[in-house]
Each structure stands twice: as C-alpha cells, then as structure tokens.
Amino acid sequence: MASPFPDGAAAIARRFGVTVKTLRVYEEAGLIRPVRNGHGWRTYGQAECERLHLVLLLRRFGLTIARIAEMFAAGQPDLAAILDLQAEALAEQQAHITEALSLIGRARRHLREHGSIDRETLAAFARAEPARLRWTPALQALAARCFTPAQQRLLAGVAPSIETEWEAVHQELASIIDGPPDTPRARLLGAKTAELINRLTGGDPAMRTALTHFWQNGFSAPEIARSLPMDEKGWQFLGQAMAAHARAEKAR
C-alpha cells in the first residue's frame, strides 16, 4: 500500500536517489531537520528538500559530512571560498593518486621484466625524484640551438608555472605507458599534454616546431637523454595519445 505521506522519508529518498539510511545519517549530523507529523513520521517540506539538495551537491563536490555541518553551523556559508579550498584539496589528492599509480606502474613493469621485486627496489621507487628536466650544460646548449632568444624568454616565463602539472603528466605516463594510447585514460592524458604544450608555446607553430626539435635532438644524444624526464618511447606515447584525443573530439 502506498504511503499516505508523499513527503515522508521513503518518498524523499526515492526522489533524490539516496537511501533512507543516508537521510538518517544526515539528520544525525544536523544537516537536515525533518519534522515529525502527528503519527510520529518524519516529513520533509520544501525548505528541507532544498537543504537536502544543497547537501547532496556539496557531497558531490567532495566535502565531508563534518565539513558541511561546520558550514551550516557557521550560518550563511561563503560557498565560493569553500569550493576554492575544496578544489585545492582535491587537486592535492589527485597528485597523490597519480604518484601512487605511477609507482604501481613501475613496480608492475619491474615484475614483468624480472619476475619478482624486493622491498629495497620498492623503496627506491618511492624515493625517486619527480620526473623533470635537469638543466645540465649540455641541455642548456641544446636549448640555445633549438630556440631563439625570444623563445627562450617565453619558456623561462611560462615553464615554472606549469612544472607541477608536467610532473603529474610524467607520473601518469609512467603508469599507463605499457598499454594502448587510445584508451579513455590515455586520451585524457593526451588532452592534458596538448593543453600544456599550447600554454608553453603560446600556440605559436614556430615554437611548437622548435620544441619538437629540442626533444628529438635530446633523445638522440645519450648524455642529454639522461637529463630528460621521459624517454623517446614516452614522447611517442604522448604524441599518439594526443592524436587519439583529437580523433575522439572530431568524431563527437
């Protein structure tokens, strides 16, 4: 028999796609305050439905129940500031996840190549420095040959601001390089790589050509290749991932 109270807990749970237990948890945390009717049943009016909608939205943003409760207890929340802080927290979590996936990828490759892995090797992986360019004299000389003075000034101005993002790309690359370059995850990496290259070069075709020459010449010189954050296989994988992303976007 259908409930005579359409705004009861069961009906609200169905409407919002949650469980009655979830509503109880939110109520216990003070996030929602249903009113009990004459039969003692919880009912949800318009105000509580709007509040529940906000709670669910904030949960999708990644805020914890405790954090949302603090917001409500403080009165009218500064949602913009809270979302900025949450975005920073999620970005930090993403960086940790990317690093962990990179370590897993390296460990799996080691296992495939050697059949086993000891704790010392795992510890060495964990201690490894983030992948980044090491500006040795040979690498600096190569940059001087490949880029004009104006292009070098552009690189010097932009590169530091995106260094952390490049490190995340290299870490993600290490975790998926043994797979195909046209998976959703690889295409996402290709999209990020294309974005960073565009920011680094300002979209200038001549700058992109110079950047390509820089990497190609670097790979061909062993003393320089050791200073690069990835090998030629990684560079080719990123190129294929960018192409796969471009094809997917064109097909949409």
Judge contact between 50 and 43, C-beta under 8 A: no
Beta carbons within 8 Å of 111's beta carbon, 6+ residues apart:
117
Q: What pLDDT was estimated at residue 77?
A: 65
Q: What pLDDT was estimated at residue 126?
A: 63
Q: What is the pairing mode between strands 35-36 and 42-43?
A: antiparallel
Q: DSSP alpha helices (H): ranges in the chain?
A: 9-16, 20-28, 46-60, 65-73, 79-114, 119-127, 137-146, 149-158, 163-176, 184-201, 205-220, 222-225, 232-251
Task: Count Cα neighbours of 124 within 13 Å in the Cβ-side half-sphere.
Answer: 8
Element (H, E) at 43: strand 42-43
CA distance 73 to 203: 48
Q: CB under 8 Å, gap of 24 or more: what pairs does 154-162 form?
A: 154/201, 154/202, 154/207, 155/200, 158/199, 158/200, 158/202, 159/200, 162/196, 162/199, 162/200
Kindly list the domain boundaries of the chain, sorted by start residue.
7-74, 78-130, 133-251
DSSP 8: B
Provide CATH code, domain 7-74. 1.10.1660.10
Return per-residue pLDDT of the chain as tens, 252 residues: 334 444 788 999 998 999 999 999 999 999 999 988 888 888 998 889 988 988 998 888 888 899 888 888 887 667 777 777 777 777 767 766 766 776 777 778 778 878 888 877 777 666 555 556 667 778 888 889 999 999 988 888 888 888 878 888 888 898 898 899 999 999 999 999 999 999 999 999 999 999 999 999 999 988 888 878 888 999 999 999 999 999 999 887
User: How many CB atoms are closer than 10 A to CB 105?
Assistant: 20
